[in-house]
Amino acid sequence: MAADLKERLGTVLESTGATWRILAEDGETLEATLRGRLKIHEDRRAEFRDQGPGKSAESLEEPRKLAVGDRVIIEPEERGDSWAISGIRPRHSSLKRRQPGGRRGERVLVANVDQVVVVFAAASPEPNERMLDRFLVIAEANGLPARIVLNKSELVNRSALEARFGYYNTIGYPLHFTSAKTREGLDELRDVLLGRISALTGPSGVGKSSLINALFGVRLRVGAVSSAVNKGRHTTVGALLTPLPDGGFVADTPGLREVGLWGHPSRDLQHEFPEFEPFLSECRFADCKHLVEPGCAVIEAVELGKVRRERLESYATLLAELEASEKEW
Ligand code: GDP
Ligand code: ZN
């Protein structure tokens, strides 16, 4: 079947109310409207095959609502020079925000995310492992790989930084020491951002915008809702994709921390600390919560120095939060 020459493929960058801003594959940015229901292009599923684990055709999601990061087919409107979204490709992943009531209220913040990049500063502001753990759990809960960037690394002694954060590397989170100021570690960071959709997150003031600017000379456009504005509200979280000049996108997800775990099943949390996994089946009780239970293999692993104690503390804090929110709904 010959492709319709007028059809174009693009990536959704932003919702601007009634229209969507789309970066077409040829590099042009245009506005398009969505009419009627989203048509999923089943025949495009083949593209995702043989791309490794997590990207099998079976794991693809069928989007019902358009989100930033979606790959869409656009075609010219019959009259005028405007564009219409005529189809959408299946998603291979998404960063979701759940709402009270479970799946029904789920909302996709960014579609087709390849990785979550959590940025902290080595100092000023002082990094906070408990907050870091929260971001990592959000990534795990969405089935997304995460990496950690410690920016402003020129401010702190390197071996102290490695002693403090090296553990995360050993449990599977690649660690980057960067400085937007001295440009240290920037080449390596650029390599892992190129050609992918990265959800960039972390507290404000750690240098996220400075890093993207130093790397690519582009300004990270601040999300439709800043985290300060968003705090305490659960209705308006806007994500925005910034295209990188050499391919790939950075999604600014300022509200991630506030909304990330709301409605997440507490029983799943133990699986979102990857280093707990080898011990989970060894606990004496099948429904062990790894808090105070006798014969808990996770607690034993902490005592043997195989699992960092503070990680179990983060787990306990998050578990209490999730259990409280489960009671609410
Ligand atoms: P964002 O809120 O995470 O986007 O942080 P910004 O990029 O706005 O940076 C916050 C402040 O940190 C600014 O004053 C930057 O100049 C400063 N900054 C950013 N990166 C570095 C760095 O690598 N070293 C130092 N010393 N300061 C930095
Ligand atoms: Zn246990």
Least confident of 31-45, 185-199, 236-250: 31-45
Nearest ligand, measured from the Cα of 287: 2
How far is Cα 139 from Cα 255, in angstroms, rounded to an integer?
14
Please state the pTM of the whole predicted model: 0.88
Average pLDDT for residues 115-128, to the nearest whole number?
A: 97
DSSP string, 41-80: -GGGGGGGTTS-TT-SGGG-B--SS--TT-EEEEEE-SST
Task: List pocket residues of ligand 1, CB cut-off 6 Å.
Answer: 151-152, 154-155, 179-181, 204-210
CATH fit for domain 266-326, picks 1.10.260.40, 1.10.40.50, 1.10.3720.10, 3.30.590.20 = 1.10.40.50
Give the distance (Å) from ligand 2 centre to CA of residue 263: 23
The overall average pLDDT reported for the chain is: 85
Q: Which residue would you say has higher pLDDT here, 5 or 82?
A: 82
pLDDT bucket at 201, cuts 50 / 70 / 90: very high
Chosen CATH of 94-252 out of 3.40.50.300, 3.30.930.10, 3.30.1360.70, 3.20.20.10: 3.40.50.300
Give bridge partners of residue 20 from the DSSP assignment: 15, 32
Query: Closest ligand 1 atom, CA of 119?
Result: 3
Which homologous superfamily does the CATH classification assign to the domain defined by 8-88?
Nucleic acid-binding proteins (2.40.50.140)
Chain segment 51-100, per-residue pLDDT in tens: 444 444 446 777 778 999 999 999 998 776 789 999 999 999 999 876 65
Q: What angle do CA 180, 186, 188 make, to 5 degrees?
A: 155
Tell me what pLDDT residue 59 has.
61
- Pick left, alpha or beta for residue 233 (phi over 0 → left; psi -120 to 50 → alpha; otherwise beta): beta
Mutate to test the pocket of ligand 1, among 210, 211, 226 (most ligand atoms within 8 A of CB): 210
Q: What is the pLDDT of residue 134?
A: 93
User: Residue range 236-254: average pLDDT?
Assistant: 82
The Cα 217–Cα 237 span in angstroms is 26
Lowest mean pLDDT among 178-192, 223-237, 300-314: 223-237
